[in-house]
Structure 1
Amino acid sequence: MPRAEPPVRRILGVRVHDVTMAEALERVAAFLAAGGPHQICTVNPEFVMHARRDPAFFQVLEQADLNVPDGVGLLWAGRVLGQPLRERVPGVELMEAIAARAAQEGWRLFLLGAAPGVAERAAETLRRRYPGLPVVGTFAGSPRPEEAPAILARLRQARPDVLFVAYGAPRQDLWIARYQPDLQIPVAMGVGGAFDFLAGVVPRAPRWMREAGLEWLYRLLRQPWRWRRMRVLPRFVLDVLRARYGRGGTGARVG
């Protein structure tokens, strides 16, 4: 069985685990050793704000087996709210860490989602970086319910140990929560735009910008359409400050 659950923090009422990258990877290994279905979510400020207005998504985060802190905004909020998080665990980097470990351990990976052809290119990148990596399938598909039977059939045939789903949040996380009980895949994780990064469709920010917490700005400059999604960030900051200096406490879920 996996070791005891890591410490839980509450960021505006939303559940996040206080784990480092190394601890998250060991948690994945423990899930695989235990068997049974597990879900990993990569929580950032956008997740928090969406979960506060969407009860279904909030419940997914409440029930997920591991919610890693993906986003410098979460670390800042944790400090302000007295809910400290030690380290940012970016989803794309956790995905690569899992792939590196999979090449050593023989874990079978399946990449689901993104635009047609992108998952295949991402898989090729991972194979080049981690020789011997067993990728047992790739497929674009979509989270539409009518496509689920064909996707589930593919996954049952491939029998992956780890499923990466790139449908974007919250659709990917809701999809995993809906179908994991049937699939019984040991680890399923929503990875957002990770396939695009690995395939070279979208470049990642330079390391210095990532380390300075400015990856969001780089992505906004490269993809101006993202401003619509990022409109929630000022509200996130205001809600954190209100929770700390206004009402006090860690904030509560709304909606």
Structure 2
Amino acid sequence: MTADEVVDLADLAVRSRRRLLIGVVNAAKIVHLRSDPLLRESLLECDVLLADGQSVVWASRVLGQPLPERVAGIDLFEQLLGLADRDHRSVYLLGARPSVLRAVEDAVERRWPGVRVVGSRDGYFDAGDSDEVAATIASSGADMLFIAMPSPKKEIFLGTHGATLGVPVLHGVGGSFDVVGGITKRAPERWQRWGMEWLYRVLQEPGRLWRRYLTTNTAFVVLLVRERLRRTRPYVPSTTATEGTAHE
């Protein structure tokens, strides 16, 4: 799907109060989901699954099943905030450190004044507190939930609690809170078009990120070559994972 099509779906979901669970994949997630069944099942719970990384779009073309475009999590996050701003919708912000969360709330108030932030919670809570966090979100009556927690914690939370939150639009936005809050700078457009946004991030935080991107990107290329030479059988999700899910 294109970003505009997803925004239209989100608009319809809010108006009809029907769940739209949005998931995104990049090279790292595609590598990890092959060995992490919980992450894989959580992604398959999504109603819409989008290519967050340009490498995924390129791979789709190599494999003869081209995707229409990359839909970056940060771009979709800002477009959905624009939708909420236009229609004075309510949002709940979940994830990141408390200081980053405050910066995001300030940015939303400044850039999208029509948005009603009905609640927020940092992402540093234990798995045992998930039920309490989910209950708080459900009681907020939010139209949209944005989650900025690392994978697979983000996908697991959405896959576990998404159906009970009563929030029409649910979107895991990864590191988008850092960008919107002004903590980190996003790569220039040219870098994004070249699929080098990951390298721009590495240059900003080399000590933390270089090894992660080196290993996952290499593994992704190996998987792509293997798939190009010999297709793997489609994965069949478990009955439990798909039960009760309304896919578009």
Which range, TM-score by smaller chain?
A: 0.7 to 0.9
Alpha-carbon distance in structure 2 between the residues aligned to 1:36 and 1:143: 28
- Equivalent position of 1:150 in the other structure: 132
- The C-alpha deviation readout for 1:114-153, integer Å capped at 9, x for no partner, is 0112122112212211222211122104352222243234
- Equivalent position of 2:185 in the other structure: 203
Alpha-carbon distance in structure 2 between the residues aligned to 1:83 and 1:123: 39
Q: Which 10-residue stretch deviates more, 203-212 or 29-38?
A: 29-38
- Equivalent position of 2:244 in the other structure: none
Alpha-carbon distance in structure 2 between the residues aligned to 1:116 and 1:181: 26
RMSD: 1.8
Tell me which amino acid in the other structure corresponds to 2:100. Answer: V
Please, which runs of 5 or more residues in structure 2 have no aligned partner? 237-248
Aligned to 1:53, the other structure's residue is in SS state coil
Alpha-carbon distance in structure 1 between the residues aligned to 2:131 and 2:226: 45
Give the aligned length.
234
Alpha-carbon distance in structure 2 between the residues aligned to 1:131 and 1:204: 23
1:178 has 2:160 as partner: yes
- The C-alpha deviation readout for 1:185-237, integer Å capped at 9, x for no partner, is 11111111010111111111122212222111000111121123321111111
- Equivalent position of 1:228 in the other structure: 211
- Equivalent position of 1:112 in the other structure: 94
TM-score (norm 2): 0.88
CA 1:116/1:239 → structure 2, altered by over 3 Å: closer, same or farther?
same
* Kept in 2: contact 1:32–1:187 (CA 8 A): yes
Tell me which amino acid in the other structure corresponds to 2:223. Answer: D
218, 222, 237: which one aligns with 2:221: 237
1:44 has 2:45 as partner: no
CA 1:110/1:219 → structure 2, altered by over 3 Å: closer, same or farther?
same
- Equivalent position of 1:163 in the other structure: 145
Aligned to 2:34, the other structure's residue is in SS state helix
Aligned to 1:213, the other structure's residue is in SS state coil
Alpha-carbon distance in structure 1 between the residues aligned to 2:3 and 2:86: 18
Shift in Å, 1:81: 0.6
* Kept in 2: contact 1:167–1:192 (CA 8 A): yes
Tell me which amino acid in the other structure corresponds to 2:168. Answer: P
* Kept in 1: contact 2:39–2:156 (CA 8 A): yes
CA 1:141/1:240 → structure 2, altered by over 3 Å: closer, same or farther?
closer
Tell me which amino acid in the other structure corresponds to 2:20. Answer: H
1:53 has 2:35 as partner: yes
* Kept in 2: contact 1:75–1:87 (CA 8 A): yes
Shift in Å, 1:168: 1.1
1:78-157 matches, within 5 Å, as 78-157=60-139
Tell me which amino acid in the other structure corresponds to 2:27. Answer: P
Alpha-carbon distance in structure 2 between the residues aligned to 1:253 and 1:49: 14
CA 1:27/1:250 → structure 2, altered by over 3 Å: closer, same or farther?
farther
- Equivalent position of 1:9 in the other structure: none
Tell me which amino acid in the other structure corresponds to 1:112. Answer: L
* Kept in 1: contact 2:85–2:115 (CA 8 A): yes
TM-score (norm 1): 0.86
